């Protein structure tokens, strides 16, 4: 009798035992266990991966401005602070096919002509341009092919954070892209141009360095040493609007730089504000008694090269941003040795006939003689001169930027 009673109690105890938080249906059966948070996140990622690249980007980018947006002018949300505040961002999308690199095209990141132009014109996708800030294009304008995952993406520096919050999410997990950022005086990643607020969150930059989809990042105005092999500086290059007729074809192929008087010339537009104090500092040095070998000159864009060709050295002081271009490129084209103050991204000039100093006061007549002797072959030897001029071309830099062939190269979908 006791044995029967124990078995009966065991049976009813199992039947009525609490189900550890698993609810019962109205029929008394156990309901399906609720998915764990990790499982929910995995399901969300799976759904995102199932959305094609084209569908994803068109959800974000295929946006036609309303009459209210057009009448209100440039939509400045997020741009004043450099980071998005009220996403998701709706972009004005335009179909785009990248252009081939021209034979004697000089390198430039500057889009002063109708965009996409300069370096951006050769990229699969172009996100933003300075034309928006001039009020000549709708805000948040992008160019690309929504049905091809890009291999190269040019991002205007003002759009780095909005790009990270939008298009970057559409890049498939196993696809690799090369990012190029520039076309602005704002520097990256810290933003040291005192006229502007910081653009990029430090957390976003750190995430990019860890993101396996981002194969490489090429940065104009690189303002910090980066302990990552996936970041490289690129120069500003020439400004197409202010080139003053300078071109690869017109550049002298042999410059007798050692026959010129050992002097330095300073040619610079003086502007007010803290960002341009260094220009005034160097101008004052050039006019001072300790620098009797320095001349100050003024000229037009068209007359620039003729003035520079009278000197073996040109002082290249940065203005906006931190890279002293287009003056550095203009000096080499004209046949003079640029002297610049060093900065983290200046490693891109390693091996060039360029003088980098820690301080402007390091310059003296003895050092000028040594620097001219060191770099003279790059100007006086025709073969070396041609090699130097090649470094100023779009072809030279595009060969570094364009992603190599392999499984991560962009594919049509």
Task: Examine the domain organization and report whether 195 and 281 are in the same domain.
Answer: no
Task: Examine the domain organization and report whether 192 and 263 are in the same domain.
Answer: no
Which of 176, 207, 234 lies at the terminal end of a domain, its last residue? Answer: 234
Task: Examine the domain organization and report whether 199 and 299 are in the same domain.
Answer: no
185 three-class SS: coil
Task: Examine the domain organization and report whether 222 and 249 are in the same domain.
Answer: no
Per-residue pLDDT of the chain (413 residues), as tens digits, is 445 444 454 444 434 444 333 333 333 444 444 444 455 444 444 444 556 888 887 777 655 545 554 554 434 433 433 434 444 556 778 889 999 999 999 999 999 888 899 999 999 999 988 877 677 777 778 899 888 899 999 999 999 998 998 889 999 999 999 999 999 999 999 999 999 999 899 999 999 999 999 999 999 999 999 989 999 999 999 998 887 789 999 999 999 999 999 999 999 888 888 898 999 999 999 999 999 999 999 988 889 999 999 999 999 999 899 999 999 999 999 999 999 999 999 999 999 999 999 999 999 999 999 999 999 999 999 999 999 999 999 999 999 998 555 444 433 33
Peptide bond into 189 cis (omega under 30): yes
Give the Cα separation of 266 and 273 in Å (integer): 20
Domain that holds residue 354: 241-392
Task: Examine the domain organization and report whether 283 and 304 are in the same domain.
Answer: yes
Task: Examine the domain organization and report whether 53 and 198 are in the same domain.
Answer: yes
pLDDT at 22: 36
Task: Examine the domain organization and report whether 277 and 331 are in the same domain.
Answer: yes
Give the Cα separation of 326 and 240 in Å (integer): 10
Q: How crowded is the C-beta side of 356, counted as CA atoms within 13 Å?
A: 14
In a domain, 367, yes or no: yes
In a domain, 23, yes or no: no
Task: Examine the domain organization and report whether 196 and 88 are in the same domain.
Answer: yes
Task: Examine the domain organization and report whether 217 and 327 are in the same domain.
Answer: no
In a domain, 32, yes or no: no
Task: Examine the domain organization and report whether 224 and 264 are in the same domain.
Answer: no
Task: Examine the domain organization and report whether 251 and 314 are in the same domain.
Answer: yes
In a domain, 413, yes or no: no
CA torsion angle 273 274 276 277 (round to 10): 120
Report how many domains make up the chain: 2
In a domain, 5, yes or no: no
Which of 214, 234, 254 lies at the terminal end of a domain, its last residue? Answer: 234
In a domain, 42, yes or no: no
Task: Examine the domain organization and report whether 59 and 182 are in the same domain.
Answer: yes
Give the Cα separation of 182 and 157 in Å (integer): 5
């Amino acid at each position: 009798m006791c044995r029967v009673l124990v078995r009966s109690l065991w049976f009813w105890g199992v039947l009525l035992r609490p189900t550890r938080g698993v609810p019962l249906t109205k029929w008394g059966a156990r309901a399906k266990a609720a998915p764990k948070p990790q499982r929910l996140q995995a399901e969300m990622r799976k759904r995102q991966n199932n959305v094609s690249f084209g569908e994803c980007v068109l959800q974000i980018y295929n946006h036609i401005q309303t009459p209210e947006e057009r009448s209100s002018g440039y939509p400045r949300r997020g741009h004043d602070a450099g980071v998005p505040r009220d996403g998701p961002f709706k972009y004005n999308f335009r179909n785009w096919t990248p252009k081939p690199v021209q034979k004697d095209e000089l390198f430039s990141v500057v889009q002063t002509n109708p965009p996409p132009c300069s370096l951006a014109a050769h990229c699969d996708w172009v996100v933003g341009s300075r034309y928006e800030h001039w009020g000549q294009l709708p805000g948040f304008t992008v160019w690309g092919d929504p049905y091809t995952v890009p291999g190269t993406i040019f991002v205007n520096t003002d759009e780095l954070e909005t790009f990270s919050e939008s298009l970057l999410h559409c890049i498939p997990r196993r696809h690799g892209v090369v990012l190029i950022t520039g076309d602005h005086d704002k520097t990256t990643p810290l933003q040291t141009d005192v006229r502007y607020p910081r653009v990029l969150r430090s957390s976003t930059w750190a995430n990019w360095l860890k993101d396996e989809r981002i194969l490489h990042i090429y940065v104009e105005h690189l303002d910090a040493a980066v302990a990552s092999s996936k970041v490289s500086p690129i120069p500003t290059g020439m400004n197409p609007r202010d080139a003053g007729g300078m071109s690869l074809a017109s550049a002298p192929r042999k410059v007798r730089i050692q026959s010129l008087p050992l002097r330095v010339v300073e040619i610079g537009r003086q502007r007010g504000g803290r960002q341009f104090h260094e220009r005034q500092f160097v101008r004052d040095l050039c006019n001072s008694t300790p620098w009797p070998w320095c001349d100050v000159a003024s000229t037009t864009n068209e007359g620039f090269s003729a003035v520079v060709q009278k000197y073996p050295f040109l002082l290249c002081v940065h203005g906006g941003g931190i890279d002293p271009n287009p003056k550095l490129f203009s000096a080499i084209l004209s046949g003079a040795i640029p002297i610049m103050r060093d900065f983290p991204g200046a490693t891109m000039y390693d091996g060039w006939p360029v003088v980098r100093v820690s301080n402007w006061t390091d310059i003296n007549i003895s050092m000028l003689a040594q620097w001219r002797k060191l770099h003279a072959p790059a100007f006086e030897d025709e073969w070396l001169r041609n090699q130097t001029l090649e470094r100023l071309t779009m072809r030279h830099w595009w060969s570094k930027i364009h992603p190599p062939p392999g499984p991560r190269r962009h594919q049509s979908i």
